[in-house]
Structure 1
């Protein structure tokens, strides 16, 4: 265990950030999964609704720094392409 005040503080901060990042990542994965499931079910309407719900979550995750902005952009692009294949 750390003995310095600053080290103890960093441990607390890291634990807090880790919990927040895990929650945000988990939420992100859930939204992406909903889009993919709707596409697998060949339900264009549900896939479109799920995509519209997922895009802000993906962007917010990138803004928070949990994922890189390029990763967010790539994910949105791929999901959009996937939904458009149902057309």
Structure 2
């Protein structure tokens, strides 16, 4: 348990940041899931539209420090490849 006042403050700050990061991570997963559902349904226009918003959301998470830059890029790349493969 935290003893000093600064340690207690850090516990409060960490709890706040954790809640914010959890919310952002959840939001990213939701957007990625929308792309995957459109891919499974075979709806290419919807998949492309969902991909555009998912890419934006992933890069926002990267800029906020929720995920690493390479992780965000990898996820965008894989989703893009899957959407592109639908037309082939």
- Fold shared per TM-score above 0.5: yes
Q: Show the counterpart of 2:34.
A: 34
Alignment deviations for residues 4-62 of structure 1 (CA, whole Å, 9 cap, x no partner) = 01110100010000000000000000000000000000000100010011111000100
TM-score of the aligned structures, taking structure 2 as reference length: 0.96
Does residue 47 in structure 1 map to residue 25 in structure 2?
Answer: no
**How large is the Cα RMSD of the aligned pairs?**
0.6
Query: Displacement of 1:3 after TM fit?
Result: 2.1
Work out whether 1:61 is the aligned partner of 2:61.
Answer: yes
State how far apart, in whole Å, the 1-side matches of 2:27 and 2:43 are.
Answer: 22
The 5 Å alignment of 1:63-82 reads: 63-82=63-82
Aligned length: 87
Output the TM-score relative to the length of structure 1: 0.97
Runs of 5+ in structure 2 lacking a partner? none
Q: Return the alpha-carbon distance in structure 2 between the equivalents of residues 66 and 52 of structure 1.
A: 19
